[in-house]
Chain A
Amino acid sequence: MTSKSVESEFVALVNTHRGAVRRVVNTYAAAPSEREELFQEIVYQLWRAFPSFRHESSALTWVYRIAVNTAITAVRRQARQPEHVPLTSDHDDDTPTATTGAPDPRSELMYRAIRQLNDVDRAMVLCYLEGLSYERMAEVFGISRSNVGVRLNRAKARLHAIVRELEERPWS
């Protein structure tokens, strides 16, 4: 396969799953600059892993696995490489809808609530919302299906409690 055809295959893959990647990014990064950086990092990691993509698992599972792994480790790595972040309005938390950039109150509340979960629960809820089966989720996390079921139920219960709290005290 020529490098051009590899590139076009990769571009097609990224474009097919760009929405899923954006949703992972919006869940792990609040500020627009962080989101852009994380999106690019995920695309880079996808490109790095692309030669070993065997089409054995579904493309969405593969993309999700890399996106979640990158999001969790990249956010942690930033702690290792402190860089100057300008204190501008650019750093404010605003949660866009996919097309308009205008925050929708429902999706804003949803992202705010999900971001309060710990890293693993957050990723579990993401996979659940994205419609991944327990089997696919077990592949993403490297744990058993029954473990996925128990954890997911707990994560949903936590999320429910957070949402209730946010609705009662929206300023918290």
Chain B
Amino acid sequence: MELKVFTDCWQQLEREEAPPIEGSAIMQMIERQVSGVQQRARRRLRRELTSYLPLAAIGLTGLLYEVTWTRLASAVGIAGLIGVLVAVLWHSERRIARVPFDRSLREVLGALVGALDAAARAYLAAYVSMFGLFAAVLVGIVGARQGAGFWLAGAGLLGLAAVAWSYASGRGYVDRMFGRYRAELHRCLQQLQAEPDPE
């Protein structure tokens, strides 16, 4: 079969046009897509919130025994940090979803890869900062109660280990979340950017 047959076949398909789509059906398609995008974002955020519930529970459990200013501040602090993390994720998702598609393929792929990288960086920074802050608070409390010594050194080491662990697990998480999609887009971009040898 020669490629000429393909062009003939294509022209045949062009002639066999499907009947026009009604305006209301087109607008319904758009509404469905909009709600699909919102649903997916909500589902992702719910999943994210669920994974931080145990952390929030730690702060709340303390309040069940006795309400003190310190415990209240801890619970609010934990909830606030989780909120920041989820907000970062939400903002990143929106940024990815808002990449304009009316540019050239090269620009769109570049913009999407950039948005995914920015999302991964922002999430990782927020995640590690959260653990860093926890570690700092822990060291501060131990230092204030026990003074300099064995316990303070132990708390410091524990804090450092927690930050290191959060970096490793955060990297794993963003790789799982954005890595495959980014790699696929990057591969497409490379296909497009590779200089073809003139024949």
Contacts and interface: CB of A to CB of B under 8 A. Distances in A.
Nearest to A13: B26
A119 B29 contact: no
Given A80-B180, A140-B104, A159-B3, A14 B16 contact: no
Contacts of A120: 105, 188, 191-192
Contacts of B12: 107
Interface stretch (B32-40, B51-59, B133-141, B161-169): B32-40
A43 B105 contact: no
Contacts of B192: 120, 141-143
Contacts of A167: 1
Given A41-B33, A106-B5, A19 B100 contact: no
Nearest to A99: B16
Interface size class of B (residues with CB under 8 A): 35 or more
Contacts of B21: 11, 14-15, 18
A66 B6 contact: no
Interface in A1-40: 7-8, 10-11, 14-15, 18-19, 22-23, 39-40
Contact of A23 (B13, B20, B23, B198): B13
Contacts of A47: 30
B103 A65 contact: yes
A43 B30 contact: yes
A142 B14 contact: no
Contacts of A23: 10, 13
Given A14-B21, A120-B188, A153-B199, A40 B29 contact: yes
Interface string A139-157: 1111100010011011010
Contact of B199 (A8, A72, A80, A154): A154
Contacts of B184: 76, 79
Interface residues of A, number: 66
A80 B180 CA distance: 7
B67 interface: no
A66 B101 CA distance: 5
Interface of A: 7-8, 10-11, 14-15, 18-19, 22-23, 39-41, 43-45, 47-49, 52-53, 62, 65-66, 68-70, 72-73, 76-77, 79-81, 97-100, 104, 106-107, 109-110, 118-121, 123, 129-130, 139-143, 147, 150-151, 153-154, 156, 159-160, 163-164, 167
Given A40-B33, A129-B10, A154-B199, 9 more contacts: A8-B23, A11-B21, A48-B101, A73-B185, A97-B16, A99-B16, A100-B16, A106-B5, A150-B197
